[in-house]
Amino acid sequence: MHPYIQLIRSGNCSMGAFAAIVGVFIAYSMLNLTVTIPFFETVLIFIIVFLITGAGNSINDYFDVDIDSVNKPMRPIPSGRIGLSQALYFSLILFAAGTGLAFHINAICGFIALFNSLLLIYYAHTLKRTVLLGNLSVGYLTGSTFLFGGAVFGIAGLKALSVLFLLATFATIAREIVKDIEDIEGDKKDGANTLPIKIGAKSSAYVAAFVGFLAVLASPIPYMQSMLSPTYLYIVAFADVLFAVAVFEIIVRRNAARSSKLFKIAMLFALLSFAAGSV
């Protein structure tokens, strides 16, 4: 894999961009618009989220080079395949390109893109190493991909996707806490002050389980509010089972790595449920 493709985590970028497209379609369906779906703006939404997500991943690796040299030494920067300055400039170019394209859609999309870009930089530099604030930031950033898709239709689109935003935010926060448990040794050496370092891995696992439980508990709401079709309910039920298994892995087996992977798979199925339910 080309080092720059690995640096931006193209799969992660594509998943986020796809989530934003799902947001466009769900908002369009809920608002009962008589005009056709805006094709050009929808394509731009995908490109923008891909670029800004890639920029965020790149700038994160730029600031995390010391941590990654312990936890992930084969990443492009610690392995020497991409230089620090190259990664920095590459990230800033992607941020600028994504934000510029967002303002081309409308002011709401532009300001969301600008705010998220600044938050991604601040997260990578500071928030990641703080107790819970970093987890909350990533939760918001993930959930906001749905809001960004809805923003194509203005304030009404944002309101239409608020529930999906909250569901994605809760699920992501749970996974981020589990990831911090997995990375606790490297984070300690870097002087980070994450939740597992502050209150311990066991207590943090219970926090992650509680937040994940909130996401599972709230998962039927989009169907109950007639936002999504019964297809959503069938697929999200499978995602909920995976969330439960992920919680079991971290609480009972204390296997943070496996729990993190299961959370990621569960989130993928949750995204698929949103997409299928919007048809």
The answer to whether residues 54 and 4 touch, using CB atoms and an 8 Å cutoff, is no
Do residues 173 and 150 both lie within one domain?
Answer: no
Name the packing angle between helices 230-251 and 256-277 (round to 10°): 170
Q: Which of 160, 182, 215 is the last residue of a domain?
A: 160
| CATH code of the domain covering residue 41 | 1.10.357.140
pTM beyond cutoff 0.85: yes
pLDDT in tens, the chain (279 residues): 789 999 999 999 999 999 999 999 999 988 888 788 899 999 999 999 999 999 999 999 999 887 777 778 888 998 889 999 999 999 999 999 999 999 999 999 999 999 999 999 999 999 988 889 999 999 999 999 999 999 999 999 999 899 889 999 999 999 999 999 988 887 787 777 889 999 999 999 999 999 999 999 999 999 998 888 899 999 999 999 999 999 999 999 889 989 999 998 999 999 899 889 887
| CATH code of the domain covering residue 188 | 1.20.120
Q: Which of 145, 160, 175 is the last residue of a domain?
A: 160
Do residues 102 and 178 both lie within one domain?
Answer: no
Q: Which of 126, 160, 194 is the last residue of a domain?
A: 160
pLDDT in tens, 2-19: 899 999 999 999 999 999
Backbone phi, psi, residue 249, to 5°: -65, -40
Do residues 56 and 172 both lie within one domain?
Answer: no
* Tally of domains within the chain: 2
Domain that holds residue 265: 161-279
Do residues 206 and 148 both lie within one domain?
Answer: no
Give pLDDT, residue 96: 98
Do residues 70 and 96 both lie within one domain?
Answer: yes
